[in-house]
A and B are shown apart, each in its own frame.
Chain A
């Protein structure tokens, strides 16, 4: 077996977050010598998923200030019997991003054959939280009609509103051509709501429906970005089955993709070490000398690592709650022949919650509900991921949203909260850095759905490692490994 120090590596990849792992996948059929390390004891970096025990370890690190872009992490459990199952029955995702069917990530997983090792689930309905009109009433959830069928069948909006929605959907599907282009271009950098109000005469409620579909964290998305997001949503509808636009990888979202990508790297010959970070680097004569925390010193032509410097952008605050109820009514298929969704999204528009200080909530809160089909919790439970932009009130607002959501559940007894994990994730630098022998990835996007811009730096890093040997047409395009073919028979 080759020793770590005697090998001149073509690339050392540090970190097993999604981007670094996809790079390992992209290089898995090259003859490059790859050492892939991670200072964490787990795969996935900022996209990891944890058992309850691992969550605790992670929280201890993040609260001790060594959590990179994560901070202020804490866990809360009710006293006494918790109703929780064994630690490893849970797989709580740090980045529970949904992936739109038209995402390039999915086409790359297919062309690289990595998709065979991942199970995907349908993301179902999007709902809006409606606060009660009077204090005696319960709050409720209104489903956002985002398919033709739903617009037809919904009783939540008037006939006039249906016509407006139809008109807008048609507009968006071809918004980059004439005459649509001329309509929205004057609004390009203005708020999407301005366009909806002035050109489509939509009332505030309809505007909220549309803006929610963009999953905009501040609720103030521009027309240019908003139309792109809505078009992505509508054009993704039905690609992988009727009635849904996005999918979610089972067992913890992007974490699973990172692990599968790393395994592809290992199958291709990359050497993996966890719990091993970089102590020091020294660059000389086109080689990087790296002192590892394990005590080894390795030499490489290139080093690719994660960016973890915070930026001035607003970060997000998250609340992950395990609920002692399957919340079945959220996960019903709404279109005939559609698979049972495992994920539902509930939006609390800005202003729909009253914060402790009596103010209306400043930013939207998004709640992504995951059924036990995701493998993230045992049967008869569910996991709720709540996200909002970080403000001093964010933690309290998320807990308010959680209570308000549970108040809308009318089936059976009021569901109990078995476990709460809260943390902040800082926004990081969105630019990759490319020096002579060191490439640094940008920080992960904080968006709720996977952003395809995540993939460009991976491609750049691949080109840099491959140099003259880079063949564009081969990027992430591989044949199945031999094992996938049935060959021999054995009779017993």
Chain B
């Protein structure tokens, strides 16, 4: 249903060319149970199912195509795979990330206090320039008086770290796209990051699945033959 907004043929044509303006890597972090995966599922699969929300198994990353201006970007969004539980995310998880989305639960003060550590980790583990986005999740519960972290507190923390800030609800769908779209927009609007996003995979990086494409030993042998007999 969300897809219906703004769909038009010109946009579709650009996306179907298959030429990406670049590939963006986003990683999602934050304490266990704050609703990281629910947000990701809603944004990427348009699904919200509280039964799926118990723990994160089986999600590596999700891919989304996003048009910023008239440029199509491929956005890979990585989930923590439960490695946030004991704070064991590896350096390779953050490798090459252009944006980090930090999530807390507005009804869980502890998850907000944990953010200091998560901001620290985001800054040490990612590349020099990275866009940070702070997200207060479970906004729907505020109406039931369960809020433990005020909007002002959240915004102030975000500002102190130079992060974008949103409060969202995966249940009602309120603001659910903003963190992802806002982060990508800021990434492509940041000199240095835009180039990183646009860079084709390092030309020297090897694609292993390319397999036996080049000179096989058998050719080498036959060439050796020529050389020796010649």
A interface residues (Cβ-Cβ under 8 A, vs B): 1, 43, 88, 91, 106, 109-110, 115, 117, 119-122, 147-148, 152, 163, 166-167, 169-170, 173-174, 234-235, 237-242, 247, 250-251, 256, 259-260, 262-264, 266-269, 271-274, 276, 339-342, 373, 481-492
Contacts and interface: CB of A to CB of B under 8 A. Distances in A.
Interface of B: 2-3, 5-8, 11-12, 15, 32-33, 44-46, 54-55, 57-68, 74, 76, 81-83, 85-88, 90-93, 95, 124-125, 177, 181, 185, 201-212, 214-217, 220-221, 223-225, 227-228
B228 A167 contact: yes
Given A240-B214, A490-B3, A263 B202 contact: no
B63 A152 contact: no
23 contacts: A1-B32, A1-B85, A91-B91, A120-B205, A147-B220, A170-B224, A170-B228, A238-B216, A242-B214, A256-B92, A260-B92, A263-B90, A269-B82, A339-B204, A373-B202, A482-B59, A483-B59, A483-B63, A485-B63, A489-B15, A490-B64, A491-B6, A492-B68
A114 B166 CA distance: 34
A269 B204 contact: no
Given A269-B58, A481-B61, A492-B181, 14 more contacts: A120-B208, A122-B206, A166-B228, A173-B217, A173-B220, A238-B216, A241-B214, A256-B92, A267-B57, A268-B57, A482-B60, A490-B66, A490-B177, A492-B66
Contacts of A340: 204
B106 to A, nearest CB: 20
A267 B60 contact: yes
B181 A148 contact: no
Contacts of B217: 173, 234-235, 237-238
Contacts of B225: 170
Contacts of A264: 60
Contact of A489 (B45, B65, B91, B216): B65
Nearest to B46: A488
A242 B210 CA distance: 13
Contacts of A166: 224, 227-228
A341 B203 CA distance: 11
Nearest to A169: B224
A486 B16 CA distance: 12
**Closest 4 pairs between A and B when the two form their complex, measured CB to CB:** A238-B215, A259-B92, A483-B61, A266-B81
A492 B206 contact: no
B92 A342 contact: no
Nearest to B86: A273
Nearest to B66: A490
B181 to A, nearest CB: 6
Contacts of B209: 110, 115
Contacts of A242: 214-215
A373 B204 contact: yes
B67 A247 contact: no
B206 A120 contact: yes
Contacts of A88: 124-125
Contacts of A488: 3, 44-46, 64-65
B218 to A, nearest CB: 9
A117 B92 contact: yes
A490 B59 CA distance: 20
B18 to A, nearest CB: 9
A267 B32 contact: no
A339 B220 contact: no
Contact of B63 (A122, A170, A486): A486
Contacts of A484: 60-61, 63
Nearest to A270: B82
A237 B223 CA distance: 14
B15 to A, nearest CB: 6
A266 to B, nearest CB: 4
A488 B45 CA distance: 8
A474 B83 CA distance: 26
Interface centre among A119, A264, A489 (most CB of B within 10 A): A489
B83 A110 contact: no
B59 to A, nearest CB: 7
A174 B215 contact: no
A244 B159 CA distance: 49
B65 A273 contact: no
Contact of A271 (B54, B82, B212): B82
Contacts of A251: 91-92, 95
A172 B25 CA distance: 45
B61 to A, nearest CB: 4
A365 B181 CA distance: 53
A467 B30 CA distance: 37
B211 to A, nearest CB: 8
B27 to A, nearest CB: 11
Contacts of A169: 220, 224
